[in-house]
């Protein structure tokens, strides 16, 4: 076994805001909220959303007790409560209301479709889904609502809030004075949330994250990245995605940084203006969305940003140059996985190595294992206080398929240099075997990006009776042809096996609600077109 191991004492990055202390992770999520309230002061306005009604720590705790008191009788103690809400104050209060009464939330991806949601609810034992009529109407989810109601009870928060009377509010205020006496007791190792993987390459899986996993990851991020004490955050990322939940909500909430939440990353014209209006300093996004924000921003809209982290997909050189030139912002690339709560590594200001996803955050152990047929990189395994307990599996004891000795197989092929910087070469399943050679589909996409820098490109592989597999490239660049890509590969010493035999031009590359490319949809489209071509 080839290996790169991190063992022994947990490391503290010299640039971090405070040393990583494992003891600080041994609390529940609700206790972490209360700890931050005590440190920052209950009246500190900590969170705001598009409705522009900021809440203090005291407001969150009181609202959590009031709402929790009403939903306690609706959701049984051993049931998991589904949350299907947009990113915002309401979703945050609902999340902590469930923790105040000892219920486990499962964050439901309302963009995943009825079939995936039914599978998720079955796996997580979700019988009740907390949602909002206004949200369903605004997001045009009536068809999904009808499908969900066939197997789960939808609890509308508008109805619950109307039932909260003056007496309930007084009780909530009294509880907020002695929150630890009234909040449900729990262990840091209890399940804190169930999140579902993005489903970029197949059916989403339910990751079981403990309270300690999530608290640990906020501490790891805070000890690795130098946050200034007065910085504020802005996050339009969905809370059903771990990047949005941890980076946009839990990290700023637990460390005392104001955060502004926006319900959708798709509002590409509105978000840059709000960043300027709120004066946000920390911003999380994906490369795809970052490009769109820049195109729709005025030159001074995003100059207040001091730390911008992109994840979920490779950061293109064009995006880096655009942000540096227009806004003076140095983009930082990070890497994570739902199973790791999600942060595994991230570049930091002053030590930003382009093309890498930074160094491991403190507390991560890692090892590399060779992958047959793939040279120049090895598969990454990680273990640490932020790594999940396991995946949901009703056939296993306690319904969880526990990780072997705590090691998570990321499925990513990486290279780690002598300084500990990680370079992602691709996912194991993102390699095509052509004529006995392994070809990275990520590399195919990067070659296409070099030839057509203003386009968006996605490569998938289909079975081929002659060569094992064949590559299909989808692009939104009009006039894209294989000959131009072949010429580039020949001029730059890239393998001609990486040149797709078919290029399909489409108007838009399909993406998931997280901003990741939806390779499942593209695979289906390619299979249908390929079948049609064979039939013809």
Position 15 scores a pLDDT of 62
3-class state of residue 202 by DSSP: coil
Position 6 scores a pLDDT of 43
Strand order in the sheet with 378-383: 365-369, 378-383, 408-416, 422-427
Q: What is the pLDDT of residues 337-367, one digit of tens each?
A: 999 999 999 999 999 999 999 999 999 999 9
Q: Which residue has the higher pLDDT, 15 or 479?
A: 479
Tell me the C-alpha to C-alpha distance, in Å, between residue 308 and each of 5, 524, 529: 29, 34, 39
Q: What is the pLDDT of residues 120-158, one digit of tens each?
A: 898 898 999 999 999 999 999 999 999 999 999 999 999
For residues 340 and 408, the answer to whether their CB atoms sit within 8 Å is: yes
Position 514 scores a pLDDT of 63
3-class state of residue 125 by DSSP: coil
Report which secondary-structure segment, H or E, holds 492: helix 482-492
Beta strand extents in 372-516 (DSSP E only)? 378-383, 390-392, 400-402, 408-416, 422-427, 431-434, 437-440, 457-464, 468-475, 502-505
The two structure tokens encoding residue 429: 């399943």
Position 531 scores a pLDDT of 67
Position 222 scores a pLDDT of 93
Q: Please tell me what DSSP assigns to residue 248.
A: I
Residue found by looking up tokens 């709000």 in the block: 274
Residue found by looking up tokens 């219920």 in the block: 103
Q: Which residue has the higher pLDDT, 8 or 20?
A: 20
The two structure tokens encoding residue 29: 């999520």
Q: What is the pLDDT of residues 398-439, one digit of tens each?
A: 788 888 899 999 988 899 999 999 999 877 667 776 766 677
Q: What is the pLDDT of residues 300-329, one digit of tens each?
A: 999 999 999 998 888 988 999 999 999 999
- Residue 86's closest CA among 240, 268, 270, 309? 240
State CA 527 to chain mean position distance.
28
Q: Which residue has the higher pLDDT, 82 or 3?
A: 82
Residue 512 has pLDDT above 80, yes or no: no
Q: Which residue has the higher pLDDT, 8 or 480?
A: 480
SS3 per-residue string spanning 39-76:
HHCCCCEEEEECCCCCEEHHHHHHHHHHHHHHHCCCCC
Task: For domain 435-535, say whether CATH 3.30.300.30 is its number.
Answer: yes
Residue found by looking up tokens 């790169």 in the block: 4
Exposed/middle/buried for residue 265 (C-beta within 10 Å: 0-12, 13-18, 19+)? buried
Residue 11 has pLDDT above 70, yes or no: no
- Residue 422's closest CA among 432, 430, 412? 412
The two structure tokens encoding residue 22: 């494992």
* pLDDT (mean) for 237-249: 93
Position 201 scores a pLDDT of 52
Residue 13 has pLDDT above 50, yes or no: no
Percent of the chain with pLDDT over 70: 92
Position 2 scores a pLDDT of 45
Confidence class for position 5, pLDDT limits 50, 70, 90: very low
pTM of the predicted structure, to 2 decimals:
0.84
For residues 495 and 489, the answer to whether their CB atoms sit within 8 Å is: yes
Q: What is the pLDDT of residues 88-118, one digit of tens each?
A: 999 999 999 999 999 999 999 998 888 889 9
For residues 289 and 314, the answer to whether their CB atoms sit within 8 Å is: no
Cα–Cα distance, 485 to 497 (Å, whole number): 11
Q: Which residues contact 21 (CB under 8 A, 6 or more apart)?
A: 219
Residue found by looking up tokens 């579902």 in the block: 196
* pLDDT (mean) for 504-522: 79
Position 84 scores a pLDDT of 96
Residue 200 has pLDDT above 70, yes or no: no
Position 536 scores a pLDDT of 40
DSSP β-bridge partners for residue 105: 81
- Residue 353's closest CA among 306, 315, 402, 297? 315
Confidence class for position 7, pLDDT limits 50, 70, 90: very low
Report which secondary-structure segment, H or E, holds 279: none
DSSP β-bridge partners for residue 156: 131
Q: Which residue has the higher pLDDT, 33 or 266?
A: 33
Binning the chain into helix, strand and coil, the percentages to the nearest 5 are: 35, 25, 40
Residue 8 has pLDDT above 60, yes or no: no
Average per-residue pLDDT in the chain?
A: 88
- The lowest-confidence range among 206-210, 435-439, 478-482 is 435-439
The two structure tokens encoding residue 351: 């030590």
- The lowest-confidence range among 435-444, 449-458, 474-483 is 435-444
The two structure tokens encoding residue 434: 């052509």
Confidence class for position 375, pLDDT limits 50, 70, 90: confident
Cis upstream peptide for 342 (omega within 30°): yes
């Amino acid at each position: 076994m080839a290996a790169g191991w991190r063992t022994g004492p947990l490391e503290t990055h010299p640039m971090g805001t405070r040393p990583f202390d494992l003891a600080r992770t041994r609390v529940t999520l609700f206790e972490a909220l209360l700890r931050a309230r005590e440190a920052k002061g209950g009246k500190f306005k900590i969170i705001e959303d598009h409705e522009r009604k900021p809440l203090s720590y005291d407001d969150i705790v009181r609202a959590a007790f009031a709402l929790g008191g009403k939903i306690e009788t609706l959701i049984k103690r051993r049931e998991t409560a589904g949350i299907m809400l947009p990113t915002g104050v309401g979703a945050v209060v609902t999340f902590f209301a469930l923790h105040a009464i000892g219920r486990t939330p499962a964050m439901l991806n309302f963009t995943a479709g009825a079939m995936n949601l039914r599978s998720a609810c079955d796996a997580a034992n979700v019988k009740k889904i907390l949602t909002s009529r206004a949200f369903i109407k605004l997001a045009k989810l009536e068809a999904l609502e009808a499908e969900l109601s066939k197997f789960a009870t939808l609890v509308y928060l508008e109805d619950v809030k109307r039932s909260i009377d003056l007496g309930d509010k007084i009780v909530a205020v009294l509880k907020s004075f002695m929150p630890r006496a009234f909040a449900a007791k729990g262990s840091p190792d209890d399940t804190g949330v169930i999140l579902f993987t993005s489903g970029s390459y197949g059916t989403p899986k339910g990751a079981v994250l403990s309270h300690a996993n999530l608290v640990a990851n906020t501490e790891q991020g805070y000890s690795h990245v130098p946050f200034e004490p007065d910085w504020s955050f802005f996050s339009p990322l969905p809370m059903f995605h771990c990047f949005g939940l941890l980076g946009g909500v839990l990290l700023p909430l637990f460390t005392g940084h104001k955060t502004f939440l926006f319900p959708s990353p798709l509002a590409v014209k509105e978000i840059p203006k709000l960043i300027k209006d709120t004066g946000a300093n920390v911003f999380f996004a994906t490369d795809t969305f970052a490009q769109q924000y820049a195109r729709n921003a005025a030159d001074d809209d995003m100059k207040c940003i001091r730390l911008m982290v992109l994840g979920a997909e490779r950061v293109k050189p064009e995006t880096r140059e655009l942000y540096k030139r227009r806004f003076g912002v140095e983009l930082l690339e990070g890497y994570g996985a739902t199973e790791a709560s999600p942060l595994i590594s991230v570049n930091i200001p002053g030590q930003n190595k382009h093309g890498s996803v930074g160094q491991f955050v403190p507390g991560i152990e890692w090892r590399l294992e060779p992958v047959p047929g793939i040279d120049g990189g090895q598969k990454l395994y990680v273990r640490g206080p932020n790594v999940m307990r396991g995946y949901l599996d009703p056939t296993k004891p306690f319904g969880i398929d526990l990780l072997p000795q705590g090691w998570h197989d990321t499925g990513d092929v990486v290279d780690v240099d002598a300084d500990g910087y990680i370079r992602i070469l691709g996912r194991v399943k993102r390699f095509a075997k052509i004529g006995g050679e392994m070809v990275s589909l990520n590399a195919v996409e990067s070659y296409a990006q070099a030839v057509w820098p203003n386009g968006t490109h996605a490569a998938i592989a289909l079975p081929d009776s002659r060569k094992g597999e064949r590559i299909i490239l989808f692009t939104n660049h009009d006039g894209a042809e294989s000959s131009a890509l072949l010429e580039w590969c020949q001029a730059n010493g890239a393998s001609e096996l990486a040149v797709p035999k078919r290029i399909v031009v489409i108007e838009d590359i399909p993406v998931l609600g997280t901003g990741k490319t939806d390779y499942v949809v593209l695979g289906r489209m390619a299979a249908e077109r390929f079948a049609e071509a064979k039939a013809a």
